[in-house]
Amino acid sequence: MHLERIEMTGFKSFADKTVIEFDKGVTAIVGPNGSGKSNLSEAVRWVLGEQSAKNLRGKKMNDIVFAGSQSRKPINIAEVTLIFNNEDRTLPLDFSEVSLTRRINRNGDSDCFINRKPCRLKDITDLLMDSGVGKDSFSMISQGKVEQIFQNKPEERRAIFEDAAGVAKYKNRKTSAERKLSETMDHLDRVQDILHEIE
Ligand code: ATP
């Protein structure tokens, strides 16, 4: 799976419809200060499920809608679509191309779509869960994150490696299995007590 294309309109500094194609391999985005490089990476993170306006350098989520410039009026809707090549079926959908869209208007109303069909944001984050792509996964490494990794405690750093190695989901499953086991043991104890009372 790889990101093939981004289409966006009205997102931060990208007032007009902007389409960016990514070839396989490495793509570098270069440009002068303030030209929108970080806005582009934030557009990706937003569609992947970012829910914190602060992480998108805003106060509220609709701050991401193009707010106007000296030469242009503000726009009412921001929309970003990520198009993934899914020929290897990394995403569990039987489509060779999967598009994920997020839209918000100035009132704060927002919509999400998978392959242009309306869905909840949770459907997008669930779809991405085991794919290694997600707003918190290491497919997105923001400027501060590298520094943060160096400053982490050893156990926090270990969690990063476990996540990258795909161990995290098994750890989560183990924790939930242990919780269920402990609940079942409690129930068994109670059954034993009742049996004693009856005898
Ligand atoms: P640097 O190299 O300095 O990090 P950059 O290329 O990453 O810069 P960005 O931070 O992505 O640039 O873009 C900043 C520009 O986006 C600013 O000019 C800012 O005014 C504009 N911008 C941010 N939010 C909006 C918005 N909601 N509406 C219009 N323009 C916006």
Tens digit of each residue's pLDDT (9 = 90 or more) over 116-128? 999 999 999 989 8
| Strand, coil or helix: 116 | coil
CATH numbers and ranges of domains, the chain: 2-135 (3.40.50.300)
Report how far residue 163's alpha carbon sits from residue 194's, in angstroms, rounded to the nearest whole number.
Answer: 44
CB 162 within 8 A of CB 172: no
Q: Ligand 1: which of 16, 18, 38, 41 to mutate, judged by most atoms within 8 Å of the beta carbon?
A: 38
Q: Output DSSP code: residue 130.
A: T
Half-sphere exposure of 151 (CA within 13 A, CB side): 5
Whether complex ipTM tops 0.90 = yes
| Percent residues over pLDDT 90 in the chain | 71
Residue 39 Cβ < 6 Å to ligand 1: yes
pLDDT at 137 over 80: no
| Binding-site residue ranges for ATP | 32-39
Query: What's the rounded mean pLDDT across residues 4-10?
Result: 97
pLDDT at 54 over 90: yes
CB 102 within 8 A of CB 84: no
pLDDT at 175 over 80: yes
pLDDT at 192 over 90: yes
Residue 33 Cβ < 6 Å to ligand 1: yes
